[in-house]
Structure 1
């Protein structure tokens, strides 16, 4: 049995897509277990760029089974568009399977998402307005519609009528919106989606457990990051699901005893999209420089990401919450050429040094980072093929990341391409 859960160890956008793609070459199956089309994974293979939102990154290998678990909320229009684009690029999607228990995003979810952000004004969360939160809300209040209903027109029609009527009342009565949705239009559109997607629907829990019991290597792919977790993130500036490692079991239908290894992906610096406190954020030209060098713009929204120095307080927190076995450090090459690098080792709050991530957002917003400085390196590392070839200052930097988090670094990214990856420890 060899199972690996891959999670984001920061605020998302850590480069999980590239690491998933890299690890998938050794896996037999890749499983996406939470989130929705608010996630964006960019994978570069032979200078060709693939942007994925719902489909697991392992789809780029024709011999891998790729599964979308019950914990994911699916926008069928986005999924079909993604399938069509991949097929037009010569990528087979025949090995994709979708859980019948996964919930479906409808147009009214997106409109309610937008209306709620508009209502909050300056207190908005900064969501992607892709309908993710409202879809999970319907799931929790037991009025959601799942893939198993989407592919059954009769059942879809029965459930959809009452839901659309209620959502129209909600938009008018609560949000004061004049937007109204036509039940029959949605039924016709989504019935068509169901017909096209029916061939992909299969019991993901059975497939995953059979693969594990049969000795196959299974990679579980999370979206977003630890600090966006609905329970353990910087609430309320979080996503609507649980990106942490434990969620892999819930979102794919397996027991915790079947997980062997957890890998946390972290950039060599840190970024954040949306609202909320960010202790090490850089508000100067250096922050802009890192953003431009790292191409730090959202795959899903195109929004510029906020950039800052690596935060070891967050790294230790992610290690504890997820039970990390290894770190995968991405975008080390972006720091090339900087004279001095900084790592946040703790926070100063009311004159005292704290080294654990605070529960209170009020406290976090008032924390000042305590830094340790390191000399940078000037050598181009994008073509380095072995860890020993890295400049000494780069290796010292990585070693300190290990020491501060208590987690060994197993993978280092020195560029966006699949081959620009250094392996220090074998994951599978």
Structure 2
């Protein structure tokens, strides 16, 4: 049994990982706005950045679980960080070769590393310490993850969006384009260096983490997971819910800077709009703590129904109005997104007749919604404007509200699941 000091030190080491993947994932938001101007892209083409990133969850989640079960936690974490560093250099090659597909490939490699990182780190956060404080540790880790999602857009706006503002029908000038590509290079060089230090720190902490880590569970294969999930109605419903939630959240976040920059909303410089994106994620950070308190007083499915209904109403308000109120309404959606991922996860586990491992693996795969739905929103934004694009997230939230109501009427299948288990969102 690891001593308290060793477990605490191991937990502190692992918690740095939560911050890092939140920080890097949220950089995709300003990057979408930056590449749109740099490479003269349409909205849907710019959203390919989110597609390249989140498609990795659908492809890599189950192979990552198999990898972690064979390598154990620390080697898997170090391998994941090495992949993320490699992805940074692929992006550097893409910018220096002046090719957008190179940037997309780099994002996919980084996201693949983050997927492995999450599969390895999530169970560690729960296990590194006394069992009765596991929920406190998970909440604290989520707070650092959320802190990363708040700080990421601030750095991204400062480095990536300076001088890349391009109004419809205009093309960025050569000097500004060169500077913008250099800013992307600088951003990912900084990230690569920090990741290298992080890998060294995790390797230095390997003994304390290994001593405190639980045995790795046997991973299900891809076919076995899908076969179990196909036999469970609520596993499929939960997968749909995660798909819609992540897709809506990512679509709003990646469009936010361009949305606030548009003449019909705030008409502020793109770089300033990028700073405001951090408020979207700050709302999610605050909402996680408020939501944790509310979940001790009301049923999870009811809180999910309320939050999704409010989020849908805010989207509808944005679709129907313009100007300053629409901007603040869009930013406030983050507050109501906050509890959706963990609540959907636990509601699904309670009702799924498939095994916990198979259900969890399928729900992680369903994060692929963050790759698909932003493309749809980007296409609508190209045709009808950014405000109209929020009609798609609105529909996602309406379906999620219906699923929450149905969850309140459904029987639970998983014995011993009390709904208090917590999970970390892709951000």
Q: What TM-score, normalized by structure 2, do the two folds share?
A: 0.29
Higher relative helix content: 2
Higher radius of gyration, 1 or 2: 1
Normalized per residue, the structure richer in strand is 1
How high is the TM-score relative to the length of structure 1?
A: 0.29
